[in-house]
Chains A and B, each alone.
Chain A
């Protein structure tokens, strides 16, 4: 579980996060949504320790990040898996080497154990035939799956995904969503996803945090988002005719 207490973050005097508090529960897919510039990425990067909030606390299962020593912070980071928007795979390494990287860096596993674990996670993301390919030789959807495999190979407690569906076709996007949801439940991970994709919101949103201008404007789950009459949420989520019709149909039922 990740608990955020009243965090604030500014850049050049411009306050981006204005006292956000929330809880991201374990075993659930927690989504952060909001318009561009609402503070989603800053919040995610603050959770990852890339940005340091000026005030407030971020607790990882009771461990307050700002109170940890440098070694403890690095230790905590080994419990984190991250799927970046552009996958961020290492260009010079093959798929298998990318996935094996966290194991080689942080475990004492021998070569056979590393290979076994890499084979297992690549099979889990349906990529068992891509071991020796370079990231440039595979499609965007496959790169995302490799990034997910790399993120979970070290059995993380926390999984963060920054726009995991961006640039993917609808079929692949749904496949990635379902994969993240399954992995979250299967391994009991605290998953936090930063997304613009309304399909993801409605498919896998166990807990949805809506940000507007750096404040928490709404929080609920995928069922509650259909019923809410919060004007900001309705204007953002149901901005397209298709989603308005979906909502109307849902409410009629």
Chain B
């Protein structure tokens, strides 16, 4: 069992090496990158915006409902919302959600190409299929921090709207809290995490799609396995990066 997992990890790193050798012609690659930006980033904007806005709102309401002591200032609602959204919700939990959305899309599209011999067709033509299929996804996901930036903004905005219009705090108090004790490195930390997660989101689902065997049923199974492993990797790397970047 352990040997099987280790051999899979080894294969994953060999795949990473293979992605960067024998580059596809730039004129072809350019179009692939734009297509991946559209499929992976632009197509995710709606769901990320929706989830971020409402979860930001829920964070604000939950915080407000738990501040029962009248001595605790209301501006803490804004502070707690900002910290939760910027440090964890936007970079980590949106990434776990994206492991489901983007990850299953990547695994199923590459897996279907494997099943229908399209990857064999690329290889027979002399194309480095890993570079052709995975490299544009990695480059497209360099835009992922842009998506997470929007998530951060909308999360805090959702918190502000829920706090103010729900009658839990005033606008001034919320904004005061949201600006209080702001540490710019927290943004750097969040975007470092985001870039690492982007790499995981591009490569782990690609690995599961590329090396899958079987037919249509196995494409579905590979998508599920890919979601599990991408989520586990994100959570694990989240812990490691938090310890490295924020731990004393």
Contacts and interface: CB of A to CB of B under 8 A. Distances in A.
B125 A78 contact: yes
A91 B233 CA distance: 31
A46 to B, nearest CB: 12
A105 B127 contact: yes
A105 B24 contact: yes
A88 B125 contact: no
Given A104-B28, A105-B25, A105-B28, A77 B117 contact: no
A76 to B, nearest CB: 8
A102 interface: yes
A19 interface: no
Interface extent on A, as a size class? 20 to 34
Query: What is the interface of chain B mostly: helix, strand, loop, or mixed?
Result: helix
B121 interface: yes
Given A77-B126, A106-B126, A91 B28 contact: no
Interface in B62-116: 112-113, 116
B123 interface: yes
Contact of B25 (A49, A73, A104, A160): A104
B210 to A, nearest CB: 15
Contacts of A187: none
Contact of A50 (B112, B116, B123): B123
Given A104-B25, A105-B24, A50 B124 contact: yes
B32 to A, nearest CB: 10
B172 interface: no
B22 interface: yes
Given A90-B118, A105-B25, A75 B126 contact: yes
A159 B117 CA distance: 17
Contacts of B22: 74
B27 interface: yes
A160 B118 CA distance: 15
Contacts of B116: 86, 88, 91
A82 B112 CA distance: 19
Interface in B106-161: 112-113, 116-118, 120-121, 123-127
Contacts of B120: 50, 84, 88
Given A74-B22, A104-B28, A105-B25, A86 B117 contact: yes
Nearest to B132: A105
Nearest to A71: B22
A170 B126 CA distance: 33
Given A104-B25, A105-B25, A74 B118 contact: no
A76 B25 CA distance: 18
